[in-house]
């Protein structure tokens, strides 16, 4: 077993290990658990979120043990890095890995469970969501700040940013599902636009984001919109092509 815990939670080490050992038989399931399973546990009065990653296939078992960091370890390290850079994310608590001679088996990432008011997904699915334009513009500024700090969040998709309204009436943003990130000294215009292309298929939202991003970045709004809309269209086409292919493969399996 490989185990690392945040200094702040060192006194809870035994409790966290007990939570992990009883993961399958206790805890409250959170979400649908299609790929990775998330459960909520009480940690001495604090609700924590424990993500159990799917056991990798044979090749990745070896890779994650001997050549690459596991998703659990990356999630923990990236969360700490984000907090150092002043970017919101649920507080990292610990990660745990279980390995055999064949490679990585079960792995877990433990973090604070953060209650949010919405995610970016609601802005896509609910056109008349209250204060939608303002939230979208503040989210765009948040994304710009990520880029300025060299953070390329590779899973920058609709469900992976939690949004909370703060006491000042503005909004705070928190990244989740952190195991795929890259950190740069500087991000190019092309990388910035590609990083935003998975968020929405709606042209009017892309237009609003382009308008807001142009306030902070030294490129014309028209160029930002044209590039971002092309990247968005390309992503959507690829996404639905892949979906159609999966549907055909499932049909043939029947």
Arithmetic mean of pLDDT, 59-67:
86
Arithmetic mean of pLDDT, 123-128:
96
The end-to-end CA distance of the chain, in Å, is 41
- pLDDT for 245 equals 63
Task: Please state the pTM of the whole predicted model.
Answer: 0.90
Residue 6: pLDDT over 80: yes
Residue 55: pLDDT over 80: yes
Q: How far apart are CA 181 and CA 130, in angstroms?
A: 31
* Pairwise pLDDT comparison (20 vs 32), residue with the higher score: 20
Residue 127: pLDDT over 90: yes
Domains and CATH numbers, the chain: 2-112 (3.30.200.20), 118-241 (1.10.510.10)
Q: How far apart are CA 196 and CA 88, in angstroms?
A: 18
Arithmetic mean of pLDDT, 32-50:
90
């Amino acid at each position: 077993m490989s185990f690392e815990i945040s200094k702040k939670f060192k006194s809870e080490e035994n409790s966290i290990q007990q939570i992990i050992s009883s993961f399958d038989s206790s805890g409250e399931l959170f979400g649908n658990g299609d790929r990775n399973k998330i459960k909520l546990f009480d940690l001495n009065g604090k609700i924590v979120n424990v993500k159990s990653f799917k056991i990798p296939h044979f090749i990745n078992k070896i890779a994650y043990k001997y050549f690459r960091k596991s998703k659990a370890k990356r999630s923990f390290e990236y969360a700490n890095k984000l907090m150092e850079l002043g970017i919101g994310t649920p507080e990292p608590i610990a990660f745990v890995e279980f390995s055999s001679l064949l490679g990585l088996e079960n792995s877990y990432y433990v973090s604070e469970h953060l209650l949010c008011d919405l995610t970016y997904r609601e802005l896509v699915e609910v056109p008349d969501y209250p204060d939608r334009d303002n939230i979208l513009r503040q989210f765009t500024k948040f994304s710009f700040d990520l880029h300025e700090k060299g953070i390329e969040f590779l899973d920058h998709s609709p469900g992976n940013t939690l949004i909370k309204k703060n006491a000042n009436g503005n909004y705070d943003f928190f990244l989740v599902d952190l195991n795929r990130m890259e950190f740069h000294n500087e991000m190019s215009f092309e990388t910035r636009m590609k990083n935003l292309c998975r968020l929405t298929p709606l042209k009017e939202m892309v237009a609003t984001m382009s308008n807001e991003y142009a306030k902070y970045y030294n490129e014309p709004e028209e160029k930002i919109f044209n590039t971002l809309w092309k990247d968005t269209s390309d992503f959507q086409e690829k996404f639905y092509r892949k979906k159609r292919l999966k549907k055909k493969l499932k049909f043939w399996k029947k």
